[in-house]
Structure 1
Amino acid sequence: MRIEIEDLTVAYHGRTVVSGVRLLALPGQITGLIGPNGSGKSTVLRTVYRHLRPESGRVLLDGADLTALPAARAARHVAALPQERGSDFELTVREVVAMGRIPYKRSFARDDDGDRRIVADSLDRVGMAEHGHRRFSALSGGERQRVLLARTLAQDPDVLVLDEPTNHLDIRHQVDLLALLRAQHRTTLVSLHDLNAAASVCDRLYVLHSGAVVASGTPADVLTPALMAEVFGVRAAVVEHPLTGDPLIAFDHRTTADVGAPVPVGPV
C-alpha cells in the first residue's frame, strides 16, 4: 500500500513546525526522511501513525484519508516504531511483542496458536528468540529496540513507520536491522540520522530543513557535497562505496566553519 502526504502543515501551540510537506512512499520501497535535528522528520512520521493531527493537508493510505479510518483498521495497515519508547513495561519480552496482535483481536481475547507462532517468528527475526521470558524493563537499550521492532513485525502491517530505528544498536545489529528492512518488501517510511545508512537502505530520500522538504530523489541524486554544506553545515565528499556501489559520504571532522565551497565529488 502506498502512503501519500499532501501539503501537510503541523503546528504546536500556535507555532508552525512543518509546512507544505508533500511525500510519496511506494509499495515495497524504503523511503527515508533525513535532515538536521528539529527539521520536522518526527513530526511528519507522527502524523502518519496518527499520533498527531495535521493543521492542514492529508495523509492518504492507498487514496483513503488515514485520519478517517477506525483505529483498529488503521493499526492493521500501519505499524510504528516511534522515538518515544517506554522502558518501564513490567511485562515479559513475549508479552510486549504480543501487543502487536491486539488490532486483530476482540476485547479480552486470548492469544491463539497463530498469534504465538507470529510472536515467536518476530522475535526470531530480530535475534531475540531466546529472551521471550525476560522482563522488558531489564533489557539494554539495544535489546529493547529490537523487541519493539519485533512488536511492529508481529502487527503484520502493510506499512512500517520507523523513527530512528538504529538508535541504541551496535554496528552488527544496525546492519542486521537494515538488512531486515530490505527483506520485508513492505512500504517503509523511516527517519535516519546516519546518512550512510540512509544511502545504503533507502530507495528514495526526502530532505527536511526548517519544516519543509528542500530536496528529494534517489540517494545518489540527493546526497551531494553542496547539500551537506547547505543543510547540515558540514564539509563532505561523496564517493562510491567500494563494497556496494552506494554513495558513501566522507565527512571532514576537522572543520565545521566555512563550508561554502563543496569538496569535489567522485563518481556515484
Structure 2
Amino acid sequence: MLRLEDIELHFNGRPLFSGVDLRLPAGARVALIGNNGTGKSSLLRMLAGQVMPSAGEIRWRDDASVAYVPQHVLDGSARSGGEQMRHALARALDSAPDVLLLDEPSNHLDRSARRSLLARLRQYHGTLLIASHDTALIDALCDTLWHIHN
C-alpha cells in the first residue's frame, strides 16, 4: 500500500527524521506513538501530501485513496471543537478511503462521541494509521505500533 524509502524531514532547519524506511501493507492498523514534538503530526501531514520530505521517496499504490483528519480541525463554523472533529471524521469515513490517516482523533470528543468513533473505526476495513495518546483507542483498534523517539 505504502513504502517510505530513506525519508528525511527537516523542520525549521532541525531534522525530525533521517533514514526512515517503512512499509504499510494494505489492511494494516497502526498506531503512531511518541512524545509530543517528535514529529507524529508531521509524518501524517507528509503522508497526506501536505508536507514534502526533505529527501527520500514516498510510494503509494497507484490507485490508493487517502483521507486525512488533522489534530485541529478548523472549519470556520461556530461549532465546538468536538463537533468539528466529529464532522471531519464522519466525512473522512463516509468517503470510504483505502487509507485513513487520523491525528489525535479522540482529543476533543466526549465519552459518547469516543464510543461512536470506536464503533465506526471497528467497521472500517481499510488501512488505518492513527497518531494518538489514547491507549484505549489504540488497544481496541491497532495491531502494530510505530514508535517515534529521539
Please indicate, yes or no, whether the TM-score normalized by the shorter chain is above 0.5: yes
Provide TM-score, normalisation by structure 2: 0.89
Q: Which amino acid in 2 is paired with 1:209?
A: H
Closer/same/farther in 2, CA of residues 147 and 31 from structure 1, 3 Å limit: same
Name structure 1 gaps, 5 residues minimum: 65-72, 89-136, 211-268
- Aligned partner of 1:162 in structure 2 is 102
Provide the C-alpha distance between the structure 1 equivalents of 2:43 and 2:103, rounded to a whole number of angstroms: 10
Per the alignment, residue 38 of structure 1 pairs with 37
Q: Deviations over 1:142-161 (max 9, x none)?
A: 11111011221233321111
Aligned residues: 150
- The Cα shift of 1:179 comes to 2.5
RMSD: 1.8
Gaps of 5+ in 2: none
- Identify the residue that residue 203 of structure 1 maps to in structure 2: 143
Aligned residue for 1:209, secondary structure, equals coil
Is 1:4–2:3 an aligned residue pair?
Answer: yes
Deviation at 1:21, TM superposition (A): 2.4
Partner residue in 2 for 1:82? 70
Task: State the partner residue of 1:109.
Answer: none
Task: Report what 1:118 is aligned to.
Answer: none
The one-letter amino acid paired with 1:81 is V
Instruction: Name which of 110, 122, 135 aligns with 1:182.
Output: 122
- Residue 56 of structure 1 aligns with an amino acid whose one-letter code is A
Moved over 3 A (4+): none
Change (3 A) 1:13 1:39: closer
Matched, 1:27 2:26: yes
C-alpha separation in 1, matches of 2:93 and 2:85: 13
Larger Rg: 1
* Structure with the higher fraction of residues in strand conformation: 2
Q: 1:129-177 CA deviation, whole Å, 9 max, x = no partner?
A: xxxxxxxx13222111110112212333211111111110112221221
What TM-score, normalized by structure 1, do the two folds share? Answer: 0.52
Rounded to whole Å, the distance in 2 between the matches of 1:17 and 1:188 is: 23
Quick one: which of 118, 139, 146 aligns to 2:79? 139
